[in-house]
Each structure stands twice: as C-alpha cells, then as structure tokens.
Structure 1
Amino acid sequence: MDTSDGKTIAPRITAYATGTLDEALQRLHGFGPERLGRLTNHAPMAVEALAARGQAPGVHRWLDLYAGKLEDFPSRVEPINAADRRGALGDPRRAADWIDHFTRALAVRPWRDVLAEWWPRLLPGMYGGSTHPVIRVGHAVRTLLAGEHTEARLTELAHSLGYWAARHHPVSVHRSALPYGVGTAPAAVALDAVVPIAERDGGFPTRLGRVAELPVWADAVTDPETVRARLAELVRAATHRYATHGHGEETMLVHAATAPNAVLRTLPALPHELWAPSLQAAWTASAAVTAMYAPDEPVPYVPPGTITPEEVAERALAHGDEHVIKLTDTALDFADEPALAAALRAIEISAPLR
C-alpha cells in the first residue's frame, strides 16, 4: 500500500501462531478491561502484537509477568436494551453489560455487520479511556481480517467494543484553519503546527479537557483510497515523531501513533462511507495527544543502525512494557529507519516490565 508521499508501507500481518494467540485471549477473557477503576488492561493488545510479530513463544511468559496488573471481570448491572443504550453509553460501571451485549450480537450476526453498525456510534467517543478502547478494537479486527474467525477472536472483539461503549467520551474541539496551509500539508507539518496546552499537569482526562483548538488537517479528503493514504501518512509521521519527541511523556505519546493506527487497521472492515469521518477522528486523537504531552524541545534524532525489524521485535518483548510493545508493533507496519528509531527510543526511555 502506498502513502501520499509515495512511500510504501510494510506488508500487513496475514498469519498468526493461532493456537498461542487464542490460548492467550481465552486466558484473558476472565479478566476486566481495566484495573483500579481507571487503568487499562493492555494484555489483549500486547499479546496480539507479539503474536503478529513472530514473538508467540514468549506470549505466555509475558502474561505471567503482567498477571499482577489484571483484575477480575467486573460485576454486571443489568442487560443493555434498546431503550437503555443512550444512558448506558459512556458509563464505565456498565462495562460487563456492554461486553455481554456485543457477545450476544456477535453470536447471531456477522462481525463486520456489528462493527459497521456500531463504529459510527462509537467513533465520536474514541477519546475515552485514553484512546485504549479503539486501540484494542484495532488489534481485535486485525486478527479477524487475517481470516480465522475463532471463538476467542470474536470474543475479543466483543470485549473491545464493550470497553469502548463503556468508556465512550466525545470531545468538542474548535478546528482552526491556519494561514499557512496546514490543512493540505504533510502530516508531519500538521503535527508540528499543533500548539501545546498551557497547563500540562494532571492525567489524560484533565488534559484532554484543556484541548480547545486544533488545526484543520485533511478535512476535504473523501476519496476512500486517499483517506487511507492520508491516515497511513499520519500514523507514520506520529511514529517518526516519537524518536525525537517521545520524552515529553514516554507512555502517553505512544497513543499519538497507536490510536490512529487502530483506525487505519480497521478501515478494510468498514464501509467506504465511514472512512472519511474515521480519518478526522483519528487526526483529532493524534493531534490532541500531541497537544497534551509534546515536550518543549525535541532531542536529536539517533539512527537505529543496522538492526533488523525482527531484532527490534525481540528487544520489545525482552523489555516487556506494554506500550513499548504496541509502539513497536505500529513501527513495524512501516519498518523504515525512523520508525525503527522510534521503537528503540521507546525501549530506551520506558521502564521495563518486571
């Protein structure tokens, strides 16, 4: 697949070590999507990324290390019904109810139909849960697009969509058309034009509430293949940017790349009419995270040397941090020099899983 700058993205994953991945997902589905009432369970995303990148032999060992961050599946309140949906949307207390709802839906309808129905409903609220719900959906959809619709993978999609519905959180951000043409500029230029918020204390929800204005970018794009190309360009630019800007907040700035990449990975499963609004939601997420966590100054770029993509994946597994694993997974979608440098930078500045 080509991007708008003529560069080619590395081939998407087309096969998994199915047994290991499904075993890991089954092992995880007895646990909830969060812990401590606010922190995301990253394990389903990380094990999918490891399996996709040839690291399946280390998946269960990694899970053993991560097990202390897992909490039991949450309590149910009452089943979601048509009359209740609007009130239950965005209510984290209803996470189990939403997961049950999508489990029932996926048991009787094709997964693409369920996704197409709910994607436009959920897309405006992709900023809840620090964008983790949409990222988890992107990982789940990638497994299904690989061609094996196993029970574990469909259950994972139900958990992912249920988590998104429970953490659904829209934002209202003014779009400013800047005088020097950011709207049609390369994605890297657009990200450079994002103005950091003035007060950069507090967690993700607090900072998100302070993002009042973002530049317009790619808002006139409607052709599906151009949408795909611009979205891929955005993911690449955000990934490359991490190599020099990741120190602003080594964990949260990962999402400037992984959130739009989740949308990019989902596009092939969606009707074309949903692609353009998906691009705009992904841009808002990436730009907002940039505004919330960008450092005052970049650091010099450090080339990755002669390391191979396979070696980078191995280093990410050895390091173990879930955000390192997920950024590396996104970087390996491109596997160019700046993307590998970004993955190595994440490994360098992030605390390892112990």
Structure 2
Amino acid sequence: MTKVGYSDAVNDALERLDDLGYERGIQGDLANHGPMGAEALAALGHGDKVASWVEVYRTAMPHHDPPSPRFALDAADESSWRSALGSFDRAGDWEQLMARELAEAPWQTVLARWWPRLLPGMLAGFTHGTIRTAHAVRSLAAVPEPSPLQLTELARALGYWAARFTRLPGKPRLGGQQGVTSAVAALPRLRGEVPVTPPVAAKRLQTLDTMPGYLEGLEELAPGDAQWLLSEMTSEFAGVYVAHDEIFAVPMVHTVTLPAAVRLVLPYLPAEQHTASVEAVWQVHLAFLLAFTRDRRGEADMIRAATDADLPSFDELSARSVEHGDEHVIKFTEACLRENLLRPDRRFAAAAFAALQRIESSREAHAQTTLSTMATSRSATASTGSARPV
C-alpha cells in the first residue's frame, strides 16, 4: 500500500467531506466529526487509511446540508457580528465572514483576532467549535502554504464555534490557591440518577449558577504557566474518565480532548491570550463535572490504579483505535498519546484503553444505523401503505 503523508491525507479528506454540513443526525445537534477524525487519524501516522475511514464515516449517520448565507455580517461593525453569536440560523453568514477574513489576512492573524471573542462561548457545539478549530490550526501549521481546502476548514470551524456560541454563567479567574487535582476534589457533586441522561445533563448545564461549588470553583484554581495547567487538566481528567464507568462513554472524553486541543492553538496566539484560554477550559471542566457526575467514585485512586494496571502500549492503542474506527476513540487516543509524550502519566493509556472498551465501534454504529433505517422504513410503509427504498 502506498504511504500517504499527513498533508495529502488531510486535504483529500477535506475534499471528500466538503459537501457535509456542520451537524448530523435526526435531531441535528450532533457535530460533524469528519474533519476532526480524519486529521487525528493522519496525525497518528495512518494517512493511508484516512480515505477509507472517511467513506465509512459518511455512511454511518446522515449529515445536514451545508448552511447557506442569509445576511452578510460586517467584521468591522461589532454590533453586526456580536448580535449573531449563538444564532445557528446564521451559520452560513459566519462561515462567509470567516472566509472573507482569511482571504484578506494570514490565518494566524484571523485566529488571534477571533479566538478571544469566541472564548466565552467555548461550550459551543459541546466544545466542538474549539476542538474543530484546533484540528484545522494543526493542519495549517504543518504546511508552508495552506491549501484553499484548509483555509475553508478553518473558516467553517470558527464559523461553527460562533454560530453555536454558548456562554456559561460566571467568569473564571486564575486567582485561587488550589491545583487542578485539589480543586476537582473540593467540588461538591450532586446526587441524582445514574447514569445521568443527556436531558438531565442539559438541564444541569442551564442551572450551573445555582449549583453548590460552581461559582466558587471558577476562582479556586491557582495561577500558573498555561502549558503546565493544561497538562494538569488532561492528566487529571483522563483519570476522571477512567473512574466514571457508570456514565455515558462519550461526553467526558471532551475533558481531555478540549485542553489538548487548546494546547495545539496556544503557539499561534499572543501570550496575553493564554491565561484566558486556560480559564475558559477550566470553566467548561467544572460544568462537565457537575452535569455528568454525581460523586467522585475512584478519582482519587486513579494514579495508583493506572500505574498498577497491565495496559497496552500506545502503539497498540493507536492501532486498536484505527481498527475500532469511532471518531471519538481516534481523537481521544491521539490526544492521550500526544499529552503522554509531553508529560508521561499512566492515566492517559488507561483512559484510551477504557474508551476503546466503552464506546461502540464504527461497524457496530453503522449496523445500528442500518437497522434503525430499516425499522423506520417498515413503520412508514405500514402507516402509508407505500414502499420506501432502504
């Protein structure tokens, strides 16, 4: 098989995914993971498998059409664009605005201009606005001259972040006395049903400012070097992920992939934006903990447990993630591998291994989608008396 390099694999994937909208699924609230998963797969060194992965991904779940622009947004008029933050019906307008910005200035300049404006809405698309932006930035930084496809992908990533902009209550500030581990341990957890269902989690996210410990927690974290704090967050929340096998397998993945994604972007941002970036990540982490967990479980024992565990090597975990095929598993494994290389911690391997076991594979998901489609078709045929193709 011909070896496909990183940039060639990414550009081929972006071309294959170009006709897909920002979201997928019948409810329309699941982010398009295609560009992120393909880029992560290429970053793992499996560029030769990206094209086939993309084709499987496209058929796993129906995607919405790309959004069409409605009314042009004016980047020079703050009242124009600020009023459109969080308006998903303006997604096409946001993409068009970002494309114009990128046509007029280097991508680094556009990124540094819009990153601080979008930071307060980091929860956008369940953090996928930020994460998709980071994957786009890594692909751009890897080449001396970006392709039109890569620039379009950054425009879409930033546009999606702006269109799904979601502000959390309170303002985070690195002014406390605690490190990440002690701040996590000090956060009260709410009793409730197990597992926490997505509707329950959504309600909790809407009432965070009434939950004990949340507003106080926003100011508990001690100041420090941004890179160090991101490492503290990724390793701590890798352990949190392993500890909570009672909750849905996917949501807490983002407590590792989000800070790992922000780390990818920091080198291309002015130094004065670094602290605010870490503060925004911390706020999202508090929100996830209160929305999805009800107690600490085995969080405090994760370092020892991961150290004592017989875990596969990262080479094997990487290969298994490719075979597994799920976009969350691929992205999570790549993030854990990258973070472990920067600051080795057995919790990263434990978390990647846990995700492989807990999240259904792309083949299983595809089979389930096919069965659901067939069931829907049979139901429609029974109710209307007409045949529909499956």
Same fold (TM over 0.5): yes
Relative to the length of structure 1, the TM-score reads 0.86
Deviation digits for residues 293-315 of structure 1, max 9, x if unmatched?
A: 12542387455636321221111
1:262-341 equivalences in 2 (<5 Å)? 262-294=261-293, 296=295, 297-298=297-298, 301=305, 305=310, 307-335=312-340, 336=344, 337-341=346-350
**Which residue is 2:23 aligned to?**
34
The question of whether the paired residues in 2 share the 8 Å contact of 1:137 and 1:160 is answered with yes
Question: Structure 1: any 5+ residue segments left out of the alignment?
Answer: 1-14
221 and 104 in structure 1: CA distance in 2 versus 1, 3 angstrom threshold: same
1:209 to 206, 221, 239: 206
Runs of 5+ in structure 2 lacking a partner? 364-390
Which residue of the partner structure matches residue 347 of structure 1? 356
Choose 1 or 2 for highest CA Rg.
2
Q: Considering only aligned residues, what root-mean-square deviation do their CA atoms show, in Å?
A: 2.5
What's the offset of the Cα at 1:16? 5.4
Is 1:171 the counterpart of 2:171? The answer is no
The question of 1:184 aligning with 2:184 is answered no
Among all aligned residue pairs of Structure 1 and Structure 2, give the percentage whose two residues are the same amino acid: 35
1:114–1:175 distance in 2 versus 1, CA, 3 Å: closer
Give the direction of change, closer, same or farther, for the CA distance of 1:304–1:326 in structure 2 (3 Å limit). farther
The 10-residue stretch of structure 1 (233-242 or 112-121) with the greater mean CA deviation from structure 2 = 233-242
Q: With CA pairs under 8 Å and 6+ residues apart, which has the higher RCO, 1 or 2?
A: 1
What per-residue deviation string (whole Å, max 9, x for no partner) do you get for residues 252-291 of structure 1? Answer: 0111111222222211110011111111001111221122
Among 186, 199, 203, the residue aligned to 1:193 = 186
Give SS of 1:75's match. coil
2:73 counterpart SS class: coil
Work out whether residues 304 and 338 of structure 1, in 8 Å CA contact, stay in contact via their aligned partners in 2: no
For each residue in 1:145-177, what CA deviation from the matched residue of structure 2 results, as whole angstroms up to 9, or x when unmatched? 234422222211111000001001111137799
Q: SS at 2:83's partner residue?
A: helix
**CA, structure 1 residues 107+175, in 2 after alignment: closer, same or farther (shift >3 Å)?**
closer
Partner of 2:386: none
Task: Give the SS at the match of 1:32.
Answer: coil
* Paired positions, count: 333
Q: Relative to structure 2, which stretch is displaced further, 102-111 or 25-34?
A: 25-34
3-state DSSP of counterpart to 2:263: helix
Partners of 1:352 and 1:173 lie apart in 2 by 38
- Whichever residue aligns with residue 107 of structure 1, its letter is A
The answer to whether the Cα contact below 8 Å between 2:172 and 2:283 also exists between their aligned partners in 1 is: no
In 2: Cα distance, 1:192 partner to 1:60 partner: 43
Aligned positions of 1:70-219 closer than 5 A? 70-81=63-74, 82=77, 83-148=79-144, 149-173=146-170, 183-198=176-191, 200-201=196-197, 202=199, 205-212=202-209, 213-214=214-215, 215-216=217-218, 219=221
Structure with the higher fraction of residues in helix conformation: 2
**Are 1:258 and 1:326, in contact at CA under 8 Å, matched by a contact in 2?**
yes
